[in-house]
Amino acid sequence: MNFRELSANEVDVRIGQVAKDGSYLTCLLYKDARADMIILDETVGAENWEREHYECKGNLFCKVGINTNYGKENSIPNWVYKSDCGTESNTEAEKGEASDSFKRACVNWGIGRELYTAPFIYIPATNEKCEANFRFNNGKCKDKFVVEKIAIENKQITGLAIKNASLNKRVFVWQKQ
């Protein structure tokens, strides 16, 4: 299977860590399950992939099956499966665990694997008062960050620009040497 690379609008950004003094924050890139479903539909067709969740030793797993005979006329379906487990999310534990296991199983197929090559995303405040770059509420940054541009070559991220959407300001630019 050869799945396309993620586009900028399919890559989400979340805050990983905020310095106690608010002088910087770090961000992480991730994809959501909708991006996986869209790419599976585009590549093999909605009728040629399936997912199933199951429990093993107290962990929720998802297996994603693909009919490797899709597109072949008069062929018998040949289902191949890849699976992985997930972890609970901070908001909706069960739904988050199911979604996470699905996303991880899709990575096993190669969807979004380029996210593992992301650079360390460090965004410093530009002056003593961090409100110039970030907006805080009770010590937590309440800004939303988005991938403005991403360049990917051979499943490797080679360029990245992140924008603070709350302030409409580009705050991170990186290009592979």
pLDDT in tens, 31-90: 999 999 999 999 999 999 999 999 999 899 999 999 999 989 889 999 999 999 988 776
Write down the pLDDT at residue 129.
42
Q: How far is CA 145 from CA 15, 117, 130, in A?
A: 8, 19, 16
Segment 139-162 mean pLDDT: 92
Task: Read off the pLDDT of residues 88-105 as tens digits, 9 standing for 90 and up.
Answer: 776 666 678 899 999 999
Question: How do strand 12-18 and strand 121-124 relate by DSSP bridges?
Answer: unpaired
Write down the pLDDT at residue 62.
96
Write down the pLDDT at residue 100.
93
Q: Is the pLDDT of residue 110 over 90?
A: yes
Strands in the chain per DSSP E: 12-18, 24-30, 49-56, 59-67, 79-85, 121-124, 136-137, 140-141, 145-153, 156-164, 169-175
138 vs 151, more confident: 151
pLDDT over 70 percentage in the chain: 89
Lowest-confidence segment of 16-30, 42-56, 114-128, 135-149 by average pLDDT: 135-149
Rounded to an integer, what is the distance from CA 26 to the centroid of its chain? 16
pLDDT over 90 percentage in the chain: 67
Confidence label for 135 from pLDDT (cuts 50, 70 and 90): low
